[in-house]
């Protein structure tokens, strides 16, 4: 007789099924992706903004810095909100990730782009949640 998976077996008590889910490789991957990942919209949007702002800075020989740095820093607010409400991060993590991406974008060289893209790729690897739920306050 084939052995049932304890994560889905209806004869296993609910508490034990939940523990088996938490110990699964998917749960470990989800934890890393949630901790280090960025929502793909944040990552690829900030990557594109970084290159557009850098193009303006390079084309104007640095004169445009007075415009591009505040624009990049202002983009931290939508990044924080997307991380919080769409990616499901807690407020502290969302603010930290948003500020990190915003400051890296504000640097007048595209050195933050690889970090931003790596965060987006890690965020893409996060398994989808089965039920649509709103993050807790």
Range of the domain at 66: 14-124
Question: Residue 8 falls within a domain, yes or no?
Answer: no
Percentages helix, strand, coil for the chain (3-state, rounded to 5) are: 65, 0, 35
Number of helices (H), then strands (E), belonging to the chain: the values are 7, 0
29 in any annotated domain = yes
CB-based contacts of 97, cutoff 8 Å, min separation 6: 38, 42, 79, 80, 83, 89, 119
Position 6 in a domain: no
Rounded Cα distance, 104 and 46, in Å: 9
Q: Is 58 contained in some domain? A: yes
Give how many domains the chain has, as a whole number.
Answer: 1
Residue 119: inside a domain: yes
Structural domain contains residue 1:
no
pLDDT digits (tens, 9 = 90+) for 28-75: 556 767 778 899 999 999 999 999 988 888 888 888 889 999 999 999
- pLDDT (tens digit per residue) in 96-135: 999 999 999 998 887 888 889 999 998 888 776 655 455 5
Q: What pTM was estimated for this model as a whole?
A: 0.70
């Amino acid at each position: 007789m084939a052995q049932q998976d304890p994560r889905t077996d209806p004869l296993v008590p609910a508490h034990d099924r939940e523990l088996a889910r938490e110990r699964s490789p998917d749960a470990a991957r989800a934890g890393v992706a949630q901790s280090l990942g960025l929502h793909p919209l944040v990552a690829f949007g900030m990557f594109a903004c970084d290159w557009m702002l850098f193009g303006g800075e390079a084309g104007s020989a640095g004169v445009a810095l007075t415009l591009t740095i505040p624009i990049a820093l202002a983009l931290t607010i939508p990044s924080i909100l997307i991380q919080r409400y769409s990616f499901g991060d807690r407020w502290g993590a969302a603010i930290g990730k948003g500020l990190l991406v915003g400051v890296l974008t504000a640097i007048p060289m595209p050195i933050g782009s690889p970090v931003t893209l790596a965060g987006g790729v890690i965020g893409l690897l996060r398994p989808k949640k089965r039920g649509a739920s709103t993050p807790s306050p």
